[in-house]
Amino acid sequence: MVNDKVNVAVLGATGAVGREFLRIFAARSFPVGNLRLFASARSAGQTVDYLGNSISIEDAATADWAGVDYAFFSAGAGRSREYAPIANAAGCTVIDNSSAFRMDDQVPLIVPEVNGDRLPSDAKLVANPNCTAAILCTAIAPIERRARIARLVVSTYQSASGGGAAVMEELRAQTEATLAGREIMPEVLPHPYAFNLFSHNTPIGEDGFNEEESKVIAETRRMMGRPDLAINVTCVRVPVMRAHSESITIEFEGAAPSEEDIRQWLNEAPGVRVVDDRANNHFPMPSEASGTDDVLVGRIRRDPSHPNAVLLFVSGDQLLKGAALNAVQIAETLIRLRS
């Protein structure tokens, strides 16, 4: 990281991801010069502490982006479509955490450990991928570089953090109510969440896949540079507060690599930590992935039903590698490329 300071803005500063940006800036010594925080009008005027300084939240609707070098957007696709062109016109580089630009061929979709080499130094708008796709690709990219993948079968176990602060609070409140013997009344999600699981709460398309599943398929293909990669995804919301998990079957075009080779490749990969202790039945868990930068990968084993397939289980923090951390890493990459 270079020492020159950059002026930074966060759009959606009061949300779960917005709060993580501030923590990550401090933890990684991101070279923040002037810091500006934007949110909705109802939050304007509130203050947030950053490294002992009180930063006042500004109304995004009247934001002046002049002088901002890097802006981190996490306020939904609609606001991103509205404000990103304005920020770009003011000379600001925007890193967007919404779905607004992820499938735009003119906008890079980046996980630095996966396809950071395809990030142009002059990019003014960069898309941060879907959290589930980011975690998936971080785990499989080190393998794909050595053994070409023919097909992926993925089942996800997605936490409340993927739905934002309101969903996290709903899980907490419903868990408390259930343990107290009170009736649960879903307000944010369509079904009771505590002690339950259900298909991801996004609309179902005509093909029977929900929106989350379709995003994971399309974005994984784009990030991996494999537009025809065969992928089958089932996304499920589970009553875990933070960190997504995924069960992954990888079918290879040729003979499957050995378990030993896969462990070695993953051990050498940035952004990955192997947790694969068979003797103690200790494998990736969301409780250990929460608050952790790395994607945890384990349960590495051959598929007895397919000669060219292996199985993995992964867990990664949705608010970090699936959102805020990855966005900050994109900015760090751009700063290095531009220095």
| Alpha helices by DSSP H, the chain | 16-27, 77-89, 112-115, 131-144, 165-179, 211-224, 259-267, 286-289, 325-338
200 is catalytic: no
Contact criterion met (CB below 8 Å) for 174 and 184: yes
Contact indicator for 311, 301 with CB cutoff of 8 Å: yes
Catalytic residue among 92, 235, 244, 306: 244
Q: Is 244 a catalytic residue?
A: yes
CA 219 to chain centre: 12
The 3-state DSSP class for residue 200 equals coil
Catalytic residue among 131, 137, 200, 235: 131
Q: Is the Cβ–Cβ distance between 317 and 292 less than 8 Å?
A: yes
- Contacts of residue 85, Cβ cutoff 8 Å, sequence gap at least 6: none
The one-letter code for the residue type at 201 is N
For the stretch 129-145, what's the b/e string if a residue is b when 16 or more beta carbons lie within 10 angstroms of its beta carbon? bbbbbbbbbbbbbbbbe
User: How many Å apart are CA 160 and CA 240, to the nearest integer?
Assistant: 6
Phi, psi torsion values for 217, nearest 5 degrees: -65, -55
Residues 6+ apart with CB under 8 A from 157: 197, 236, 238, 240, 244, 245, 246, 247, 286
Collapse the DSSP code of 218 into the 3-class scheme (helix H, G, I; strand E, B; otherwise coil) and give the result: helix
Residues assigned a catalytic role: 131, 244
